[in-house]
Structure 1
Amino acid sequence: MSDRSDLLITADELAAALNAADGRRVRLLDVRWRLDAPDGRPAYLAGHIPGAVYVDLDMQLAKKGDARQGRHPLPPIEQFERDARAWGIDDGDRVVVYDDLGNMSAARAWWLLRYGGFHDVRMLDGGLRAWLASGRELESGPVHPAPGTVSLSYGHLPVVSMDEALHVAHHGILLDARAPERYRGETEPIDPRAGHIPGARNTPTTANVDESGRFLDAGSLRERFEAAGVTEDIQVATYCGSGVTAAHNAAALMIAGLRPALYPGSWSQWSQHADRPVATGDEPAEDEQHDVLRGE
């Protein structure tokens, strides 16, 4: 079971690790991306934590192709390992990821590295804002590290498929990490159908952090997810629009002491399949969930 120190690092802790004399190198990954501004490279070039390498979420943390797989299907392991080596990562390194969005995008890199078997990776709690608030400087321009030699293999964190996600929704707890208005189907800015997977419960990922973008404490997160029906003895999985912020929800669940699965295809895959049921409105009552399960 993970705790906060396994997943997160503070700005002060990062600065100390960068200056540590233990011989272990820290590789920094800048994963700035957002739905309305997917190319974070200009912001990265203008100023980033010294030594950080830019990671292109769309091109390096996903593999675009058939729309029926979703907007951000997982990249093939060969591609991901090649890119991780291009970021300069060796097997014995420490890796710290960050963004300027409360780790909403950086969590994708954190989760994918963990899924690939690289365990010494943490998110900078509070992201770039926390680094700047600590009084530390940025540098500009690109960073081109020497190629690394890291070896990766998928399967080190639990995932669910499209079929398994619906099963979890009715036999466990499936959490939808999107904004409430998208969950309810009131608006859908990018995917072909509005609504949510029947039986899913809404826990917007933005509520995982405080005003500064730092994750809430374990107890507060635990209370939040327990209010949605999550317990230690029930299967839980999470999804979002395309599998990006679902990784943030997964991290919050792990901080709370739980072991979630992630549905990588998320709503962007589900909504592409006309044969898949869609629910709208607020969370269904328990009897309505069972009606959907029976196909009524």
Structure 2
Amino acid sequence: MDTLIDVAGLKARMAAGQRTVVLDVRWALGDAEGRSHYLTGHIPGAVYVDLPTQLADPADPGRGRHPLPSPARFQEAARSWGIRDGDVVVAYDDAGNTSAARAWWMLRNAGVRTVYLLDGGLAAWRTAGLPVEGGPVQPDTGDVVLADGSMQVTDADGAANWAAGGVLLDARAGERFRGEVEPVDPRAGHIPGAVSAPTTGNLDDDGRFLPAEALRQRFANLGVDAATPTAVYCGSGVTASHEMAALEIAGFSAALFPGSFSEWSNDASRPVATGADPG
């Protein structure tokens, strides 16, 4: 199952009139202007996806900063984007797909098989000299029927014990893993036993995913192999979805801890480790 589509592939689909739902998922921690960025310029026909309200429930200390919405609420959002059963969906952003991967993972988890990330995102589209358009896109309401449970997940109890028999990857920046800074969550550090694997290490300087072999080597160096159970978390389950995509490109399967460190660190009974070692 392919994870990525490149600019040439998306352009060819659009030129041939092949039905493709394009989702603009611009969001970044500390930047609440994703919709404004979208309205200024987006891939023609792309529908804006608001990550905090459509790809998450409101923050809850017991579930994290971006809890997964119910399947019914997510289906309503997906239909508002115009998705029909059997559609090809392409998601992108302007940050190396670190936010678009949330939509990719959620749609895949909901049973949508033909959903891709646009490799390189909006920057790659612009670099190719392709046009953008401004203003909103309001598609006809779709009829997609979504399910739940197509992707592996774990919870806080699973994360607590994961390192005993597998590899638990922390997709946040290294300084947050080490506990040197913590801009948003109540405690600094990482889940004991986790290995630091910043999402930025999945990308080249142009914001494209590294080739599959390079990603395989990266994860192998972190202890990942086909026989070892692997799980991923980040701050709130967003960039961990990007790590899930990178692992899939590399040929590995993994489980996502949706609540991630924002859920973990809000529970005073959960220990937190600091420093560069797993702890």
**Structure 2 residue 238 is matched with structure 1 residue 244:** yes
- The answer to whether structure 1 residue 13 and structure 2 residue 29 are counterparts is no
Corresponding residue for residue 224 of structure 2: 230
Size of the aligned set, in residue pairs, is 279
Of 107, 124, 133, the residue aligned with 1:130 is 124
Equivalent-residue separation in structure 1 for 2:59 and 2:271 (angstroms): 24
- Further displaced range: 206-215 or 164-173: 164-173
Matched with 1:294 is none
For 1:176 and 1:188, the matched residues in 2 are separated by 14
Match in the other structure for 1:211: 205
Q: Which structure 1 residue ranges, 4+ long, deviate > 2 Å from structure 2? A: none
User: Which one-letter code corresponds to 2:10 in the other structure?
Assistant: L
Identify the residue that residue 36 of structure 1 maps to in structure 2.
30
Q: How far off its partner does 1:66 sit? A: 2.6
Deviation at 1:262, TM superposition (A): 0.4
Q: In the superposition, relative to structure 1, how do residues 65 and 189 fare at CA in structure 2: closer, same or farther (>3 Å)? A: closer
Q: 1:74 maps to what in 2? A: 68
What runs of 5+ residues in structure 1 fail to find an aligned partner?
Answer: 290-296
The one-letter amino acid paired with 1:145 is P
Deviation digits for residues 90-127 of structure 1 (CA, Å, limit 9, x no counterpart): 01211000000000000000000000000100000000
Which residue in the other structure is 2:251 paired with?
257
Aligned to 2:214: 220
Residue 92, structure 1, aligned to residue 86, structure 2? yes
Alpha-carbon distance between aligned partners in 2 of 1:133 and 1:71, rounded to the nearest angstrom: 34
Give CA deviations for 1:192-211 in whole Å, capped at 9, x if unaligned.
Answer: 00000000000000010000
- The structural deviation recorded for 1:65 is 4.6
Query: In structure 2, what residue type is equivalent to 1:130?
Result: A
Q: Structure 2: 5+ residue runs without aligned partners?
A: none
2:14 aligned partner, one-letter code:
L
> Could you say which residue in structure 2 is the equivalent of 1:173?
167
Separation in structure 1 between the aligned mates of residue 32 and residue 210 of structure 2, nearest angstrom: 26
Quote the residue 1:140 is aligned against.
134
C-alpha deviation, 1:226, in angstroms: 0.7
Q: For the Cα contact (< 8 Å) 2:60–2:67, is it kept in 1?
A: no
**Superposition deviation, residue 171 in structure 1:** 1.3
Pairwise CA distance, 1:39: 3.3
**Whole-angstrom CA distance in 1 between matches of 2:197 and 2:65:** 21
SS at 1:95 equivalent: strand
- Higher Cα Rg, which structure: 1
Is the 1:38–1:58 contact (alpha carbons within 8 Å) kept by the matching residues of 2? no
AA partner of residue 213 (structure 2) = G
Match of 1:170, SS?
A: coil
What is the alpha-carbon distance in structure 2 between the residues aligned to residue 111 and residue 239 of structure 1? 13
Percent of paired sites with the same residue: 57
Q: Deviations over 1:160-195 (max 9, x none)?
A: 011001121221000000000000001000000000
Letter in 2 for 1:89: I
CA distance in 2, matches of 1:66, 1:199: 25
TM-score normalised by length of structure 1: 0.93
CA distance in 1 between counterparts of 2:174 and 2:105 reads 24
RMSD of aligned alpha carbons: 0.9
